[in-house]
Amino acid sequence: MTKQHGDLTALRREYCGSDFSHGDLSACPIAQFRLWFKQAQEGRSDDASSMTLATASASGMPSARIVLLKHYDVNGFCWYTDYESQKGRELAENPQAELMFYWYGLERQVRIQGAVHKLSLEQADQYFSQRPRESQVSAYASYQSQPISSREALKGAVAQSNQKYLNQDVLRPERWGGYCLLPDKMEFWQGREGRLHDRLVYQRNNQDWLIQRLQP
C-alpha cells in the first residue's frame, strides 16, 4: 500500500512514568489534583494552568479550546471569558463540560467532568480589576468569536476603547465573567511503558467519592 502524505502510523513514543496505584491517591480528588498541579508547576510553571475546555451545543456538536485555570477548590474549577463567545453560548444551551490537563514532562493527564455555572458578578469584578490594563481593554473592545473584517479593524476598536477609558479604570463589560465547573468525575492518567497506562477515577457518590481503576 502506498503511504499517503500525513501518514503518522510509524510515529511512536514510549511512556516511562512511575508507578501510580490506588495507594498513592488522596481520598479527595481536589487534594490529589493540588499535588499533581504543584509538581507540574515545578516542571513548567508557565504552562501548568493551561487546560482544554470541551463544550457541546444543544444539538450535541462538540467544540474544544485551550483556556487558563484561574482558581480552584472543593467548589470547582474556574475560568473567565466572554459570555457571548462560542463556549459561552454552548454553556447556556448545555451547562455541562469537561476540562483536560496534559502535563507533557510528567506524562500525565487529568480529566474533569461536571456541571458548569456562572460565578458571581462580584467575583468577576474582582478578577477583572486584577488583570493587566491591556487585557482589560482587549476584553472590552473584542466581541469574542464574532466576525471582524480585519486585524486593523480590531486594533481600531482597541484604540477607541483606550480613548474611552483614558485616565480612568476600565469597567468590566457586562458580557464578560467567570464560570465554575463542579466535578462529578475526575480521572488521573499516568503514562506507562508498553501502553499499560495507569487510569484511576474518582466518581462522586453523594458526599463521598468512589475510586476505581480503568483499563488503559
- Give the Cβ contact number of residue 129 at 10 Å: 12
195 is catalytic: yes
Residue entry with cell 465573567 = 177
Neighbouring residues of 189: CB distance < 8 A, sequence distance ≥ 6 = 108, 109, 110, 111, 197, 198, 199
Question: 12, 151, 195, 213: which one is catalytic?
Answer: 195
Neighbouring residues of 192: CB distance < 8 A, sequence distance ≥ 6 = 15, 16, 17, 20, 198, 216
**Euclidean distance between CA atoms 38 and 22, whole angstroms:** 20
Residues noted as catalytic: 195
